[in-house]
Amino acid sequence: MSSLIGILGGMGPLATVDFITKIISQTPATRDQEHLPLLVHSVPQIPDRTACLLDNQESPLNALLQGLNTLINGGAGCIAIPCNTAHYWYEPLARASSVPILHIAQACAEALARDRITSVGLLATDGTLKAGFYPRHLAEFGISLKTPDTALQKRVMEGIYLVKSGAVEQGGRVLDACMGEMLQQGVERVILGCTEIPFALAHIGSPHARLGMDATKALAAACIRWHGTRQMPVAA
């Protein structure tokens, strides 16, 4: 199987670039040739995932399948999707795929378990909260989860869409305040469960960022581990 990693991105474009940067920054490479081979499909015209889940608007599944096929036909040996909400369609994508698809919530749950974290909050889109995959994956490791109340969730969505619109600093300030409120509820960590959130918090130098579990970073680390399993030992 190919060691080429396919990135099904564009949701949004900044989040995709941020994900690639996190793969590069976590790779223990000393020269260009030691970095991971990536094939990136960044097509922002994929229909809005949250709008589909909450307002019965156009499903992104067909567009996701097209992107998936483009990556597989291009030689990808596994797929990563740096968009949390898109994982609502993980099962039909996995059924259609001839190569493994890494799951962002599974990568995040495994990272939290390695750090012996038992209680977390979650900042994510309305669509991701409705999809419910984070509670399922966290429960496998006995990790309890708190989600925002209605008023706080409204502000989380405001911050996310500010970032998507290009107002990264303004959105980051909103999201930083939201994270502070979640931490006041007594959780050990807050999952940054939308790929725009860690990007925005890093942009403003958030004082709360050290207590965040960056799901994007966890998925990037899972890509690096997968690639490591594809490397054949060099013959003596």
**In whole angstroms, what is the distance from residue 193 CA to residue 163 CA?**
14
* From 52, 108, 178, 194, active-site residue: 194
* CA 157 remoteness from chain centre: 16
DSSP-derived secondary structure letter, 175: H
Q: Peptide bond before 12: cis, by omega within 30 degrees of 0?
A: yes
* Token pair listed for 87: 């994982």
Contact assessment for residue 85 and residue 160, using Cβ atoms and an 8 Å cutoff: no
**Catalytic residue status for 108:** no
Greatest distance between any 2 Cα atoms in the chain: 62
User: Which residues have a Cβ under 8 Å from the Cβ of 170 and sit 6 or more positions away?
Assistant: 162
Residue of 52, 83, 108, 223 marked catalytic:
83
What is the rounded distance in angstroms from the CA atom of residue 145 to the CA atom of residue 226?
Answer: 27
List beta partners, residue 214.
192
Catalytic residue at 83? yes
By annotation, the residues acting in catalysis are 83, 194
